[in-house]
Amino acid sequence: MMKRTTMVLALVLAFGLTGCMEELPVTSYPAFYAPGRYQVLGIRSFEGATAVSQRVGDVLAGELAVAMLDNGTYPEVYNLGQRHMLPEIDLMLVGTVEHFSAERLTRTEQQQAYTVDAEGNRTSQGLQERFLTANDVTLTVSARIETPDGAILQVTAEPITAHVRSDEGDASTPLMSLEECYYRAIREVSAELVRQFAITEGMVSVVGEDTFFIAAGRDLEGNWVRSNTFSIDTPALRVVVKLPPEADRNVFQLVIIAKNKPDTPLKREVFVWRREDRSTGQVFVFVPLELLTQAGTGQLQVQLRSGDTPILRRDLTITESATPVDLPADATSELVPTTPAD
């Protein structure tokens, strides 16, 4: 298991500890990444304070170079070993082995021993000692991406730790070897470095009700007044999208459908999410009367889509009778423009 702040935990802390968690597929880009700008990545051996940790740093650099090349973000990847850099390098990944330990843990336990006769009767033979062993490896590293002139573009926010431990057993139990624990720890740390410094595909857990919701407007304190039911007399309704930073530069669709005609979108907005939009969100404004007229029914659904696949859904009802909404008199005047994809 990786002892690190996982994507899920980070988002739980960001959104709060309450609410229904929903899954969002994203392509994660490093903050410094620009298409076509960085073609050649060099990886130096991770520095270690001891001869053992330095050897670990050498192995990690080799494993990471292979993983980065397989990832494909950087067309050329070089393991520099102890060298500083090569002339053609655009970026260099530099790291430190903060801690490394590889131990064979042993302990003794006592257990009751029995003999069983032909009739199945058990006879106590007293206590016997049992010697148990487990293999345990811990690896902690920190790293950064920098340009050839030494400008630091991104650092690991906190040290990355992999802790791999075999099952516990006696001499008759096959255990994961200390060497296998070591290589698993190397691969786990390498995978996390790829996730932080390269483009990766994955799932992000978000608090759905804070990520994608419908609102009538804001109250006097600036808080969104959420509602899923509007009358045709309501001047406008808002659909608010507040995605996590991991969704930066991803393309999404906001689609409104009539429930009785799910294959015919009434409205479609294609937009690119930007990391800096997180504080305010992107807000899409629609007129209830126009939606009702176009749909022919008041039972609608608002969908957030990745490609053509709905990932978050919110039901929307438009009625012909007035529905009181607790808003100050001037709150409905706020209209926030949307940013369509190029």
In the predicted structure, residue 227 carries a pLDDT above the cut 90: yes
pLDDT tens readout for residues 296-342: 999 999 999 999 999 999 999 999 875 555 555 444 434 444 444 43
* pLDDT greater at residue 38 or residue 6: 38
- Rounded to whole angstroms, the Cα distance separating 334 from 257 reads 25
Least confident of 7-21, 60-74, 111-125, 138-152: 7-21
For residue 176, give both structure tokens. Answer: 């994961």
| Residue in 36, 64, 22 with CA at minimum distance from that of residue 206 | 22
* pLDDT greater at residue 133 or residue 145: 145
- Rounded to whole angstroms, the Cα distance separating 57 from 63 reads 10
Residue 101: band (very low, low, confident or very high) from pLDDT cuts 50, 70, 90? very high
Query: How many CB atoms neighbour CB 34 within 10 A?
Result: 8
For residue 200, give both structure tokens. Answer: 């990766």
Strands 47-48 and 91-116: parallel
In the predicted structure, residue 202 carries a pLDDT above the cut 60: yes
What SS3 state is found at 216?
strand
For residue 175, give both structure tokens. Answer: 């255990």
* pLDDT greater at residue 194 or residue 5: 194
Question: What is the average per-residue pLDDT within 166-171?
Answer: 80
Distances (CA, A) of 195 to 86, 160, 232, 283, 331: 24, 12, 47, 30, 42
pLDDT tens readout for residues 151-163: 999 999 999 999 9
Least confident of 23-32, 165-174, 214-223, 303-312: 165-174
With beta carbons less than 8 A apart as the criterion, state whether 202 and 28 touch.
yes
With beta carbons less than 8 A apart as the criterion, state whether 170 and 123 touch.
no
pLDDT tens readout for residues 46-83: 999 999 999 999 999 999 999 999 999 999 999 998 77
Domains along the chain? Answer: 30-104+133-198 (3.40.50.10610), 204-333 (2.60.40.1930)
- Rounded to whole angstroms, the Cα distance separating 249 from 60 reads 30
Reported in sequence order, the residue ranges of 38-176 that DSSP labels E, i.e. its strands, are: 40-44, 47-48, 76-81, 91-116, 122-146, 152-155, 160-165
- Rounded to whole angstroms, the Cα distance separating 172 from 138 reads 25
Q: Which pLDDT belongs to residue 110?
A: 61
* pLDDT greater at residue 214 or residue 262: 214
Query: Rounded mean pLDDT of the chain?
Result: 85
- Rounded to whole angstroms, the Cα distance separating 198 from 195 reads 6
Q: Which pLDDT belongs to residue 10?
A: 37
Least confident of 27-36, 80-89, 269-278, 280-289: 80-89
- Rounded to whole angstroms, the Cα distance separating 178 from 268 reads 55
CA 44 distance to own-chain centroid = 27
The DSSP string of 142-168 is EEEEE-TT--EEEE-SS-EEEEEEPPP
Q: Which pLDDT belongs to residue 19?
A: 56
Question: What is the average per-residue pLDDT within 26-45?
Answer: 93
Residue listed under structure tokens 């390098």? 89
With beta carbons less than 8 A apart as the criterion, state whether 212 and 272 touch.
no
Which secondary-structure segment (H or E) carries 24?
Answer: strand 21-28
Q: Which pLDDT belongs to residue 293?
A: 94
For residue 291, give both structure tokens. Answer: 């939606």
- Rounded to whole angstroms, the Cα distance separating 41 from 68 reads 9
Give burial (CB, 10 Å; 0-12/13-18/19+) of 194.
Answer: middle
In the predicted structure, residue 16 carries a pLDDT above the cut 90: no
In the predicted structure, residue 7 carries a pLDDT above the cut 70: no
Least confident of 85-94, 110-119, 321-330: 321-330
In the predicted structure, residue 29 carries a pLDDT above the cut 80: yes
pLDDT tens readout for residues 242-265: 999 889 999 999 999 999 898 899
